[in-house]
Amino acid sequence: MAPRLLLVGAGGHGRAVLATLRDAGWPLPAGVLDDNPACPGLPGVPWLGPVARAAALRAEGLAAAHVALGVNALRRRLGEQLLELGFDLPPVVHPSAVLAGDSSLGAGSVALPRVVLGAAARVGRHVILNTGCIVEHDCEVGTACHVAPGAVLGGGVRVGEEALVGILAGVRPGIRIGARAIIGVGAAVVAEVMPHSTVCGVPARTVRQGALPPVPPPGE
């Protein structure tokens, strides 16, 4: 039987994850943590306090969790903290998603409705495979990436950690996308994308090079 999860994040992505859990027959989550003091919780799921309460809830017996936050670096940071506290972070998969039998989905990752994960594709921890995206055969998607709705990765694409592949973007087979790169909405990626760069257009061209400011700790 699927465990009763503690959710972290009560925003839009939190609602999407909650809908996926319900559609997949998971028990209603035990509660949600969010640093917003005015947080109303999620539909049917109470707010249990800020993220700092996670350790106490683990001590009280909650054993499984999911970080439902859209910011890649923050999702990764909190997910790794929960693992260190002893939480299990099982992957969450919508029943309409199609995952090849020899593909893999890492701890804390989610496959939302109509995702396709091809043969021998490997997806790391804390990854969002958003609605209707396609990750074809032999792809490697690194830790804490986000493949946005409708995006398509051709066979053998390598996506570095914390990268974002934007809505309806297409990536040619065999392309490498560097860590923390951003692929713009509808971009057609036909050449290697360097780490920390932003590319847009058809064909995609670099419009920014350099790291974004770091994500502040929760509550700051």
Mind listing the pLDDT tens digit for each residue in 141-196?
A: 999 999 999 999 999 999 999 999 999 999 999 999 999 999 999 999 999 999 99
Domain termination residue (choose one: 50, 84, 118):
84
97 and 205 inside one domain: yes
Residue 217 burial (C-beta neighbours within 10 Å; 0-12, 13-18, 19+): exposed
Query: What angle (nearest 5°) sits at the alpha carbon of residue 142, between those of residues 86 and 31?
Result: 40
Q: Is residue 53 part of a domain?
A: yes
How many domains does the chain fold into? 2
47 and 150 inside one domain: no
Q: Is residue 220 part of a domain?
A: no
Cis peptide preceding 203, ω within 30 of 0: yes
Tell me which residues are annotated as active site.
Answer: 137
Q: 34-45, pLDDT tens digit by residue?
A: 998 888 889 999
pLDDT number for residue 84: 97
- What is the C-alpha separation between 87 and 79, in angstroms, rounded? 9
pLDDT number for residue 211: 65
